[in-house]
């Protein structure tokens, strides 16, 4: 059987060959193919690398093929590798399919040895250049190929400069460098036990193998785990004739973008450094010139470069990021790729490219992401402003907030009402902090992760939040906290928190305002002026035109619902009713729990019914004409009572000190009765509804009477009642009877026509696995992917982040939190099973998703693939979800 070719000339490939040639190799080939000046060379395939990694030895044919291509290269360049008179020098660079910046190895100047260095000096008339090049080769080769310790070379360089009394490399002349080469070669021999190889072929082979090996360096492995890059791809190796930008004033190196990567503005953008190599531009040792300045220095090269950049942008149909070198007036392109850009630039460039007729609207939509939109929608600290970092926590909810520190929710409300912006600082928050969080500009906690109460609620409200800033010692009594370096921040001191980075600053940091996306009667409009706004507006319209899925919001109050509608929600996908049992109503719920007879319980239900009904009237009014999914009470009852341990301590201390504790003891008995060792797996959801007859019935009546009231006065309420935590159809059937009865009574009582749907959360694995049965009794399914993730993985959101979770992410056992991005293989499979089998039973079954994943871009794409009818997310994520739901129609899942 014919062996596959392991080496390809640049002339033989194209940009489509990234699998085989890696990203860099494919783009070099593409430029070569376009006739753009690229230093000639060849690429060793990823397949060769994989063969080496699998077998542990270089494929037999590899070096023969390299030799053939090298001979052709020498022929073409008219010089021979390492020739004593006029040596050809080559670079050896890694280049995998996916960019892994800085993770793998490069060796430059291969071909130099004690003889050819003199030839290079003679040919270039620049002995310093020649010896500096040789010095660099020995150093790179020692570190990379021979795996010697880098600091040995750096120390020797420092010594040489110290001996000479200079501070920069340029202070060393040719003789100094010649001496340094001798010292470097001695280090190589001392540390590796063998002299630096003088044979250019040996150098080349060693460098190739070193690049192969670097695929499996620990940092590369970790990087791939974190970025979710497959471990078995291998890297290509590019061998290319060296071009030198450091051969005098008519030489130089630069990097450039075909448009401004920061703002997206039209016009080339870049840096140039005369008499320098590429790494010098990046290293920042000398001040670079603007690309425009090149015109004055070398008009011919400048014009040629601009022409090439225009061709590349037209060819790649996107902004390109390039590296180039000018060697004695001759322009060489060293690299090109599609350029990275900021969120702002992404939107502007995409729309400009439509207007220029380069790409279609559908393509433009693929050039922006929901994450970029989210960045634009939240305020940022001005990057130019000064700041003093005092702690770092987790980036729990984006935005930039400035205010005075307060340590309890009542104080937050008091100050905020008096017009002072506040940052609410707590160890952790709980449902009773809701009013404080509403009042605050931002929330800072010292405990809990991205899915802690503070984080989830703050995201839901669009409130900036940094959580789990563990270095803060919060002293609630003293109303202050202490940072790791001992700084004390007292109540009333000003703080700034960055919800996108998790940073906490003392004092005020200047804020740049955000983009505001608004929808009004089906029309999107983005507030604030300028070209960015027009671009976002344009692409949002494109997304809305393309998308199939509806986007709803999670909202628990009339106010939330109205805001959600402004953000473009097409209904409410999850209205939680537990918040309606908090605050002043907590006392009523406490009486319910302590009630001993059915009559006592019914009396409490009778008291709650009108309160709940009024809540729902507000919500249906705000969502007039749009569907509203209300979830019946889900959490365990003990959440409405004091904490078991706290109360136990209180009672025991009272008893030990002879104080009265009759009331507390009575409460403790109830708390103890309801105490569960794993409340997440206990008496909640439909189980609670079936165990406490009257509860769900009361809620159903409140919802349906509210809907009837709204309809009676000419509105259009569309209630969808959702039963939580259903595991078997029998549970749903039992509750459905109560709901349908309540609907009938509400219709009769108010003499109105009213549709109502009854459905269930699919949040237990069993619900998904038996969805075909459950669909018999359901009008709709809503995947509760938070709980479904908890049950499928068997870890709870509350507990994981404080223990093993961060370690799992660090070690790459998880590449992202399954609570943020849907776990396609496990949880996603249950979503697929549930959707398919539910619809097989009932083709008209409406299927949606509520919970955090509804607003996550990658997850939205997954739900589109699975054919869900809608996603539901927090109001502030609605524009993001709309954009992504549109993008999901035109991008492939990995995009």
What does 254-282 look like in DSSP terms, one character per residue? EEEEEE-TTT--EEEEEEEEET--HHHHH
Among 71, 163, 730, 748, binds a second copy (CB under 8 A): 730
Find the shortest distance in angstroms from Cβ 728 to a second copy: 7
240 near a second copy, judged by CB under 8 A: no
DSSP H or E segment with residue 156:
helix 150-164
Give the helix ranges, DSSP H, for 849-888: 857-865, 878-887
Q: Which is nearer to a second copy, 12 or 769 (CB)?
A: 769
CA atoms of 771 and 836, how far apart (whole Å) = 9
Rounded to whole angstroms, the Cα distance separating 164 from 167 reads 9
Nearer to a second copy, 501 or 728 (CB): 728
Among 164, 713, 807, 840, binds a second copy (CB under 8 A): 807
How far apart are CB 841 and a second copy at their closest, in Å?
14
When binding is defined by CB under 8 A, the residue of 793, 816, 821, 865 that contacts a second copy is 793
Provide φ and ψ at 580, rounded to 5°.
-75, -5
Q: How far is the CB of 892 from a second copy (least distance, A)?
A: 22
Can you give 763-823 as a three-state secondary structure string?
CCHHHHHCHHHHHHHCCEEEEEHHHHHHHHHCCCHHHHCCCCHHHHHHCCCCCCCCCCCCC
CB of 788 to a second copy, least distance (A): 9
Please state, in angstroms and rounded to a whole number, the distance separating the CA atoms of residues 195 and 200. Answer: 14
Among 406, 725, 742, 881, binds a second copy (CB under 8 A): 725
Under the binding rule (CB under 8 A), the answer on residue 640 touching a second copy is: no
Applying CB under 8 A, does 652 fall inside the site for a second copy? yes
803 touches a second copy by CB under 8 A:
yes
The single residue among 35, 78, 714, 794 that binds a second copy, judged by CB under 8 A, is 794
DSSP states of 623-673: TTTSEEEEEPP-S-GGGGS--HHHHHHHHHHHHHTT---HHHHHHHHHHHH
> What is the number of other CB atoms lying within 10 angstroms of the CB of residue 592?
20
- With b meaning 16 or more CB within 10 Å and e meaning fewer, what string describes 458-475? bbbbbbbbbbbbbebebe
- 313, 323, 537, 731: which one binds a second copy (CB under 8 A): 731
Among 808, 816, 836, 889, binds a second copy (CB under 8 A): 808
> CB 504 → a second copy: shortest distance, Å?
24
- Span of 491-499, 574-582, 592-600, 730-738 interacting with a second copy by CB under 8 A: 730-738
Beta carbon of residue 661, minimum distance to a second copy (angstroms, whole number):
13
Nearer to a second copy, 220 or 800 (CB): 800
Query: Interface with a second copy includes 477 (CB under 8 A)?
Result: no
Part in contact with a second copy (CB under 8 A); list of ranges 154-162, 340-348, 694-702, 826-834: 826-834
Binding of residue 770 to a second copy (CB under 8 A) = yes
Pick the binder of a second copy from 653, 669, 737, 748 (CB under 8 A). 653
Q: Kindly state whether residue 475 participates in binding a second copy, applying the rule CB under 8 A.
A: no
Burial of residue 184, with CB atoms counted within 10 A of its CB: 0-12 exposed, 13-18 middle, 19 or more buried: buried
Answer for which of 16, 162, 488, 649 binds a second copy (CB under 8 A) is 649
3-state secondary structure 739-752: HHHHHHHHHHHHCC
Q: Is 476 near a second copy (CB under 8 A)?
A: no
Contacting residue, 417, 825, 844, 892, with a second copy by CB under 8 A? 825
CA-nearest of 858, 893, 616, 841 to 729 is: 841
Asked if 687 is part of the footprint of a second copy (rule: CB under 8 A), the reply reads yes
CA distance readout (Å), 91 to 109, 204, 210: 6, 9, 13
CB of 681 to a second copy, least distance (A): 4
Q: Which of 430, 624, 766, 821 binds a second copy (CB under 8 A)?
A: 766
Residue 28 or 788 having the CB closest to a second copy: 788
Told to check if 690 binds a second copy by CB under 8 A, we report yes
Given the residues 850, 853, 861, 873, select the one marked as catalytic.
850
Q: What are phi and psi of 593, to 5 degrees?
A: -70, -35
- Give CA separation, 194 vs 5, 141, 673, in Å: 34, 13, 77
Out of 645, 666, 669, 737, which residue is the one contacting a second copy (CB under 8 A)?
A: 645
Taking CB under 8 A as the criterion, the residue among 176, 503, 537, 823 binding a second copy is 823
Give the N- to C-terminal CA distance of the chain in Å, as an integer.
Answer: 37
Residue 727 binds a second copy, judged by CB under 8 A:
yes
DSSP count for the chain of H helices, then E strands: 35, 35
Does residue 850 have an active-site annotation?
A: yes
Of 406, 523, 552, nearest to 848 (Cα)?
552
644 near a second copy (CB under 8 A): yes
Alpha carbons within 13 A on the beta-carbon side of 325: 20
Tokens of 876: 């502030």
Residue closer to a second copy (CB basis): 449 or 558: 449
- Rounded least distance, CB 758 to a second copy, Å: 17
Residue 479 contacts a second copy per CB under 8 A? no
Residue 667 token pair: 């409460």
Single residue of 361, 712, 798, 865 touching a second copy by CB under 8 A: 798
Q: Which of 855, 863, 856 has the alpha carbon at shortest distance from 889?
A: 863
Could you say whether residue 840 binds a second copy (CB under 8 A)? no
> How many residues bind a second copy, per CB under 8 A?
58
Q: Of residues 8, 69, 380, 453, which has the active-site annotation?
A: 453
- For residue 549, the 8-state DSSP code is S
The alpha carbon of 428 is separated from its chain's Cα centroid by a whole number of angstroms, namely: 24
For a second copy, the binding residues (CB under 8 A) are 644-645, 648-649, 652-653, 656-657, 676-683, 687-688, 690-691, 725, 727-728, 730-731, 734, 763-766, 769-770, 773, 787, 790-796, 798-800, 803-804, 807-808, 811-814, 823, 825-827, 829-830
Annotated active-site positions, please? Answer: 453, 850
């Amino acid at each position: 059987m014919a062996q596959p070719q392991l080496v390809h000339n640049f002339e033989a490939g194209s940009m489509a060959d990234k699998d085989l040639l890696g990203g860099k190799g494919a783009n070099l080939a593409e430029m070569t193919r376009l006739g753009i000046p690229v230093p000639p060379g060849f690429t060793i395939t990823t397949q060769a690398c994989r063969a080496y990694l699998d077998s542990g030895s270089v494929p037999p044919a590899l070096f023969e093929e390299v030799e053939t291509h090298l001979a052709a290269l020498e022929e073409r360049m008219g010089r021979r590798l390492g020739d004593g008179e006029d040596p050809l020098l080559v670079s050896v660079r890694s280049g995998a399919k996916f960019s892994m910046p800085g993770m793998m190895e490069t060796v430059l100047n291969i071909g130099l040895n004690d003889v050819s260095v003199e030839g290079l000096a003679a040919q270039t008339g620049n002995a310093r250049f020649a010896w500096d090049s040789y010095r660099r080769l020995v150093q790179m080769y020692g570190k990379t190929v021979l795996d010697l310790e880098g600091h040995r070379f750096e120390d020797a360089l420092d010594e040489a400069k110290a001996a000479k009394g200079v501070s920069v490399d340029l202070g060393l002349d040719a003789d100094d460098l010649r001496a340094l080469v001798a010292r470097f070669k001695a280090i190589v021999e001392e540390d590796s036990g063998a002299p630096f190889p003088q044979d250019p072929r040996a150098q080349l082979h060693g460098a190739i193998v070193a690049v192969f090996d670097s695929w499996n360096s620990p940092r590369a492995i970790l990087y791939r785990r974190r970025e979710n890059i497959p471990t078995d791809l291998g890297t290509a190796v590019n061998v290319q004739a060296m071009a030198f930008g450091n051969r005098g004033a008519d030489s130089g190196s630069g990097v450039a973008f075909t448009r401004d990567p920061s703002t997206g503005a039209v016009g080339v953008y870049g840096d140039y450094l005369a008499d320098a190599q590429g790494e010098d531009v990046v290293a920042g040792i000398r001040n670079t010139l603007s690309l425009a300045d090149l015109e004055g220095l070398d008009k011919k090269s400048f014009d040629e470069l601009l022409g090439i950049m225009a061709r590349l942008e037209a060819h790649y149909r996107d902004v390109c990021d390039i590296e180039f070198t000018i060697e004695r007036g001759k322009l060489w392109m060293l690299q090109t790729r599609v350029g990275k850009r900021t969120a702002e630039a992404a939107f502007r460039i995409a729309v400009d490219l439509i207007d220029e007729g380069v790409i279609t609207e559908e393509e433009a939509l693929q050039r922006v992401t929901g994450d970029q939109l989210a960045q634009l929608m939240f305020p940022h600290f001005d990057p130019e402003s000064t700041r003093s970092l005092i702690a770092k926590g987790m980036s729990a909810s984006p935005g930039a907030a400035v205010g005075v520190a307060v340590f309890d929710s009542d104080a937050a409300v008091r100050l905020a009402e008096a017009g002072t912006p506040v940052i609410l600082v707590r160890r952790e928050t709980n449902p009773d902090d809701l009013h404080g969080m509403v009042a605050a500009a931002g929330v800072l906690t010292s405990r809990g992760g991205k899915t802690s109460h503070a984080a989830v609620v703050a995201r839901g409200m669009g409130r900036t939040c940094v959580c789990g800033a563990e270095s803060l010692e919060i002293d609630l009594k003293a109303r202050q906290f202490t940072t790791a370096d001992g700084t004390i921040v007292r109540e009333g001191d000003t703080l700034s928190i960055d919800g996108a980075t998790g940073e906490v600053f003392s004092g005020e940091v200047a804020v740049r305002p955000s983009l505001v996306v608004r929808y009004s009667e089906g029309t999107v409009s983005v507030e604030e002026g300028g070209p960015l706004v027009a671009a976002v507006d344009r692409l949002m319209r494109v997304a809305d035109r393309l998308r199939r899925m509806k986007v709803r919001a999670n909202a628990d109050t009339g106010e939330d619902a109205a805001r959600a509608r402004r953000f473009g929600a097409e209904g409410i996908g999850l209205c939680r009713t537990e918040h309606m049992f908090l605050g002043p109503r907590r006392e009523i719920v406490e009486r319910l729990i302590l009630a001993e007879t059915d009559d006592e319980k019914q009396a409490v239900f009778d008291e709650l019914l009108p309160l709940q009904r009024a809540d729902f009237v507000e919500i249906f009014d705000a969502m007039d004409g749009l569907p509203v999914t209300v979830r019946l009470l889900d959490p365990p009852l003990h959440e409405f009572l004091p904490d078991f341990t706290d109360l136990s301590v209180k009672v025991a201390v009272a008893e030990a000190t002879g104080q009265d504790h009759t009331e507390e003891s009575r409460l403790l008995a109830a708390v103890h009765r309801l105490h569960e060792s794993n409340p997440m797996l206990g008496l909640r959801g439909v189980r609670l509804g079936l165990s406490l007859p009257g509860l769900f019935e009361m809620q159903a009546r409140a919802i349906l009477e509210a809907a009837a009231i709204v309809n009676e006065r000419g509105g259009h309420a569309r209630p969808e009642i959702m039963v939580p935590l259903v595991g078997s159809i029998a549970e749903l059937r039992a509750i459905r009877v109560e709901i349908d009865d309540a609907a009938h009574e509400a219709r009769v009582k108010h003499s109105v026509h009213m549709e109502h749907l009854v459905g269930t959360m699919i949040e237990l694995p069993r619900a998904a696995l038996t969805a075909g049965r459950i669909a018999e009794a359901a009008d709709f399914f809503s995947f509760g992917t938070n709980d479904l993730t908890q049950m499928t993985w068997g870890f709870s959101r509350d507990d994981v982040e404080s223990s093993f979770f961060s370690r799992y992410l660090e070690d790459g056992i998880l590449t992202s939190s399954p609570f943020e991005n849907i776990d396609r293989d496990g949880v996603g499979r249950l979503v697929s099973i549930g959707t398919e089998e539910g619809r097989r039973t009932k083709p008209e079954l409406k299927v949606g998703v509520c919970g955090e994943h509804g607003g996550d871009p990658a997850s939205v794409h997954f739900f589109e693939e699975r054919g869900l009818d809608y996603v539901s997310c927090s109001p502030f994520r609605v524009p993001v979800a709309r954009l992504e739901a549109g993008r999901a129609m035109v991008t492939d899942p990995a995009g």
